[in-house]
Amino acid sequence: MGKGTVRQILLITDGCSNQGEDPISVSSEIAQQGISVNVIGVLEDDQTEDPVGLSEVNDIAEAGNGVSRIVYADDLSETVQMVTKQAMNQTIQGYVNQELQQIFGKETDEESLPPSTRGEVQEVMEELGETCDLQVMILVDTSASMQNKMSAVKEALDDLILSLDARAGNHYFSIYQFPTRKQVVKELLDWTSDGNRLAKVFPKFAVGGITPTGIALREAAKAFHSDIEDDVMGGAAYDVVDSSYRQSL
């Protein structure tokens, strides 16, 4: 994996965290590890577009150097793939701006170049966006109120995989849910790039009560590290084990 990999967490939730750590500060800690935190807030059909309870969605993403959107379940597919792509571009942009600063000095970023030169930088960034490896951890809130949105979530993830498949670079995704009866987060699918495995995961989603978003984020983020050490990407052996029954990391 190494240098050319963009790492993201995609949190799909429909409400405010109500237990445990502050998800906003956890999110900024995760961002410092080079993992961006994107958040999608799912609205009830009768909710207004800007409900108070979901303001946390934007704050978590902001703290996590990520992108956020608040949408109705019907628009989930379109949003999930767009957020993922935008966040990836944003990460690459940040990286390229850093490089520019090394070359041209402190104050330089892409926007301080004249528009004509910017075009060339843009092409380099697009090339990177198309070819870099992408690692997305999908963290799904399965508290009781999410129950009727699960089919929309599944469809959106199917759609996301379709978009990822179209890229030239490799991608790996894993799926975690929170909360479950016994654990804060539970791994449903270990790192894989096989979209067909999504279908087998969804029946396993059991829906719980509370929303401990902060702890869930912290726990889920650990998966990035354990996997880098284990070199899971290299060996397909893990794919055989039904990972959802492993202990929480």
Partner 1 sequence: MSSIHPTVNLYKGDRLKGVWNHRSYRIERLLGEGARGSTYLASWNQQTVALKISKDPSVVTAESNVLRKLNKVQGVKLGPSLLDVDDTYIRQGSKYSFYVMEYVKGLTLKDWFEQHSTRKLGDHTSQLLNYLHELHRLGYAYGDFKPDNIIIEQKTNQLRLVDVGGVTKFGRAVREYTTIYDRGYWRLGSRKADATYDLFSLAICMIQADSNQKLKQASKNKSILKRLPSFQTITPYHEVIRKALLGSYSQALSMKKEVDHINRKLLTMRQKSTNHRYKKRKPTTTHAVDHTEVIGVTSVVAIHLTILYVLIQTL
Q: Which residues bind partner 1 (CB under 8 A)?
A: 58, 61-62, 65-68, 74, 77-78, 82, 86-87, 89-90, 93, 110-111, 114-116, 118-119, 121-123, 125-126, 130, 151-152, 155, 159, 162-163, 165-168
Residue 7 · residue 36 · CB < 8 Å: yes
Q: Give the SS3 label for residue 148.
A: helix
Nearer to partner 1, 167 or 204 (CB): 167
Nearer to partner 1, 9 or 184 (CB): 9
Encoding tokens for residue 159? 């759609």
User: What is the rounded CA–CA span in Å between residue 124 and residue 30?
Assistant: 27
Nearer to partner 1, 53 or 119 (CB): 119
Q: How far is the CB of 94 from partner 1 (least distance, A)?
A: 10
Nearer to partner 1, 119 or 209 (CB): 119
User: What is the rounded CA–CA span in Å between residue 144 and residue 209?
Assistant: 5
Nearer to partner 1, 25 or 151 (CB): 151
User: What is the rounded CA–CA span in Å between residue 240 and residue 49?
Assistant: 42
Within its chain, how far is the Cα of 84 from the centroid?
Answer: 7
Q: How far is the CB of 204 from partner 1 (least distance, A)?
A: 21
H or E element at residue 159: helix 150-165
Q: How far is the CB of 248 from partner 1 (least distance, A)?
A: 30
Q: How far is the CB of 121 from partner 1 (least distance, A)?
A: 8
Encoding tokens for residue 58? 């934007």
Residue type, 111: E
Q: How far is the CB of 116 from partner 1 (least distance, A)?
A: 8
